[in-house]
Structure 1
Amino acid sequence: MNGTTAPSPWLPTAPCTPGRCAAHPDSGTDHAAPAAGAALAAVRLAAGIGTVLLGILLAPAAGLLRPPVRAALVRFWVRAVVRAFGVRVRFEGTAVPAAGPLLVVANHVSWLDIPLLAAVLPGRMVAKAEVRHWPVLGTIAALGGTLFIDRDRLRALPGSVSAMAGVLAAGGRVVVFPEGSTWCGRAGGRFRPAAFQAALDSGADVQPVRIDYRPTGAAAYVGDDPLGASLWRIVTTRRLTAEVRTLTPISGTRFPDRRSLAAAAQRAVAPQQAVAPQRAVAPQRAVFPQRAVANDSANLPFSSVHHRDRSRPASASSSRTPA
């Protein structure tokens, strides 16, 4: 990022930067990550990129298969991509409904979050409109049924929320990173409420997911971190492990509005030691959910590892990295 263009003041920002968060572990929490040799790293990088390209080449043929078969192949493919880059994965937590509408929300650390969620909870990802035109990644996003939103037009936000609600109402899943930016994994951001309005409007449950990496800094994709540098850091780290924990689903009927629902999901996803005492929200019987409106700052769009943007200097903020 060259820093010549100031970010929109309503976009979320994180204090995480590559030098402070990704390259150097915190003393006392992470020990120096054991490094893989250059030869092993090169093999991992080639295998990971090759697996990604193979999936793209086979995508048109896979589109002719029955949906259950196609979904199984996609899950196998994304797991193969993560493993090819040398990342071990542990899936744990509560059982997830096999079918039915679900708003999947997770903390956001890395671009690896996307294939990890697709492996356990495949659904329609949310991304900014520019991603559609990105080389390779844009093609993958489009083939995966990504919901593209125009984050530069605040008035388009109600339409984006309606599109998410429509997918949920039809029985589908929508996957969102409500923090709006990637964080290093040691710190996290506030969950933005906009997407939760879609769950209220459609009557869908919210499925919180917690993603962690060990060692913590190796997978973090924050600030001005180039994708190439992130890839190399991952393939050169030995025993990099991703932990994906599915938590108890949250029913929107227990909360009066999107803000309280977002806060409940954030508390569920937060590390246990980081959960601050909160007043319990009393169940509501008949409450009309709030509608997203263009001038509601609480419903501002969110970026993620799909959403890489320019940012302030590192001393002020990190960039909103893609989902």
Structure 2
Amino acid sequence: MSCWTVASPCTVRCAAHRVPPVATGVRARRYAALAGALLRGLASGPRLASGEVLRTQAKGVIRALGATLEAPASVSGPRRRPGEAGSLIVSDHISWLDALALLAVEPATALAKREVAQWPLFGPLAERAGVQFIDRDRIRTLPDTVAQVAAVLRAGRSVLVFPQGTTWCTESGSGFRRALFQAAVDAEAPVRPVTVSYRQCGEPSTVAAFLGEDTFAASLHRVISARDLAVRVTPHPALHPARDRRALAAAAHTAIRGTGAPAHP
């Protein structure tokens, strides 16, 4: 157990199709489209970490999966002036698809658990996109991680984090871990809470959830098989960085909750 470790009651049984899956032929076409989208992303090389390229490639992967992205043009609001800090974008955490949806809207430096680097194709793609990998089992790395995030924010780039520390089957989830909010305090950067939610045929769905002992391959297959899946990104008003990290974490979680998510099964 470490400072990053959070227990969730959600298991793979929570992830379920709300409507019948698509036909085998549709799945096959989606897998082919996904392979093409990922290879195009890899072919972008170092350019993938640049804002517009990252946004375009993330949208392409979501389309290839057969999902629809419902999101505003930006989650950080008006364009920052030179010298202003970036935003600490904090979101609930349901799926590996969360990060893709958010990066398709707001190119940022994302933090992810180190295991993501080992995922086929997605891992190398994440590295080229500038994702920073966290070793959640080493508590001694936490101060350095906070300092690195603060430095990125001071440089004017936004940082995407999932402070719940694990995935849940709905938006409500658990409270937020406070450590990374210190980076926003240190950098005097705004905190932007964002809700990511999933719908099938317009109704709340847990099909995209990546939980417990689930494997990435099984979760990917479930998402590709999902009928009429939509990923909804809902930004909330920015929180002022003058607050202490405890207050920031509580306020961010309060903003994200209460979205009418399905109850935990």
TM-score (norm 2): 0.87
Deviations 1:81-128 (A, max 9, x none): 101110011114976232341000000111111111101111111123
Partner amino acid for 1:17?
Answer: T
- Cα gap change, 1:165 to 1:94, in 2 (>3 Å): closer
> Is contact 1:45–1:231 with CA below 8 Å preserved after alignment?
no
Partner amino acid for 1:105?
Answer: V
User: Secondary structure at 1:194's aligned position in 2?
Assistant: coil
- Cα gap change, 1:71 to 1:182, in 2 (>3 Å): same
Deviations 1:145-190 (A, max 9, x none): 2223332221221111001001111111110001010110164011
Q: In the alignment, what sits opposite 1:204?
A: 189
Q: In the alignment, what sits opposite 1:269?
A: 256
Q: In the alignment, what sits opposite 1:16?
A: 10
> Is contact 1:75–1:118 with CA below 8 Å preserved after alignment?
yes
Q: Which structure 2 residue ranges, 5 or more long, are not aligned?
A: none
Is 1:143 equivalent to 2:128 in the alignment? yes
Q: In the alignment, what sits opposite 2:26?
A: 40
User: Secondary structure at 1:252's aligned position in 2?
Assistant: coil
- Cα gap change, 1:159 to 1:197, in 2 (>3 Å): same
Alignment of 1:139-288 (within 5 A): 139-185=124-170, 187-215=172-200, 216-253=205-242, 255=243, 257-272=244-259
- Cα gap change, 1:157 to 1:97, in 2 (>3 Å): same
Partner amino acid for 1:90?
Answer: E
Distance (Å, rounded) in 2 between the aligned partners of 1:247 and 1:81: 25
User: Secondary structure at 1:117's aligned position in 2?
Assistant: helix
- Cα gap change, 1:148 to 1:245, in 2 (>3 Å): same
- Cα distance, 1:240 vs structure 2: 0.6
Alignment of 1:23-34 (within 5 A): 23=16, 32-34=18-20
> Is contact 2:112–2:134 with CA below 8 Å preserved after alignment?
yes
User: Secondary structure at 2:5's aligned position in 1?
Assistant: coil
- Cα gap change, 1:182 to 1:267, in 2 (>3 Å): same
RMSD over aligned CA atoms reads 2.2
- Cα distance, 1:13 vs structure 2: 1.4
- Cα gap change, 1:147 to 1:105, in 2 (>3 Å): same
Partner amino acid for 1:270?
Answer: R
Partner amino acid for 1:144?
Answer: A
Q: In the alignment, what sits opposite 1:96?
A: 77
Please tell me whether Structure 1 or Structure 2 has the larger radius of gyration of its CA atoms.
1
- Cα gap change, 1:132 to 1:233, in 2 (>3 Å): closer
Q: In the alignment, what sits opposite 2:101?
A: 116
> Is contact 1:199–1:205 with CA below 8 Å preserved after alignment?
yes
Partner amino acid for 2:232?
Answer: E
Distance (Å, rounded) in 1 between the aligned partners of 2:94 and 2:212: 11
Is 1:105 equivalent to 2:90 in the alignment? yes
